[in-house]
Amino acid sequence: MGHGAGTLELIVSQLQDARRAPIEPLRGPATRDLFVRIYEQLQADAEPQILQNISILEQLKNAAYTYVLEAEAAVLAGTAPSAVARGQLFAEEALARRVPDALEALRAAEANATIGSRESASLAATSCRRAVKALADALYPAGPPVVDGAGTTRSMGDQHSRNRLTQFVLDRRGRSTLADLLGSNIDMLGTRLKSLDDLASKGAHSNITMNEIGACISSTWGLATDLLRIDDEARPD
């Protein structure tokens, strides 16, 4: 389709927001009835697009999870491509040195995911959320609100991990090519963080599937790797 997963998630979010938006019909019974019929038709037309994009996203998540499992198996067997091995080694070593709480949480998530029960899936999702919180605490500790270039004030308190990680990336633009890439589309970065948070939230209610847990864990590992690479690139020589 020519879109990345982040773009598809943003499209779904926008369609869902538009579908839920309240309407203010024009006055007059006939005009109001016509307006409502048109609006309901627009909502009905949006539904197949939403379902199609959600289906594509689920396929992408499943494919990503399968790839991660195969790559991990290859690492254990000693046959992994050097790029995969280097990426995994970097993430584990960097987390062990700089964010050990996040590494502990991710390992707990993987251990619970292998059990396969409903309760263990919920615990794995909670561990992913703990890992993201630990990353935010290490890379952009809680502090006063920040006002962006558009004049919008964003909270940077203890519970605002998404805001803090987004600001971490924005603050490193110009010093990290990866930060430039992620920061060039802040909506996509926000959608990536929100999607991860939504998965973890779903797990808190014990209604998350094992495929979704796999996506949650692999996405958290990917986020951690990107953020730590940005931190490395932005550090002075």
pLDDT one-digit tens code per residue, 87-143:
778 888 999 999 999 999 999 999 988 887 888 888 888 899 899 999 999 999 999
- What secondary structure letter does DSSP report for 26? P
pLDDT one-digit tens code per residue, 44-63:
777 777 777 777 777 777 77
More confident residue, 190 or 157: 157
pLDDT one-digit tens code per residue, 3-33:
566 666 767 777 777 666 665 655 556 666 6
Residue 205 pLDDT level (bands cut at 50, 70, 90): low
* Amino acid identity, position 171: D
Neighbours of 66 (CB within 10 A): 13
Average pLDDT over residues 65-91: 70
> What mean pLDDT value characterizes the chain?
80
Q: What pLDDT score was predicted for residue 32? A: 64
pLDDT one-digit tens code per residue, 165-189:
999 999 999 999 888 888 777 777 7
Q: Based on the number of CB atoms within 10 Å of its own CB, is 60 exposed (0-12), middle (13-18) or buried (19 or more)?
A: middle
Tokens of 137: 């605490």
pTM of the model: 0.64
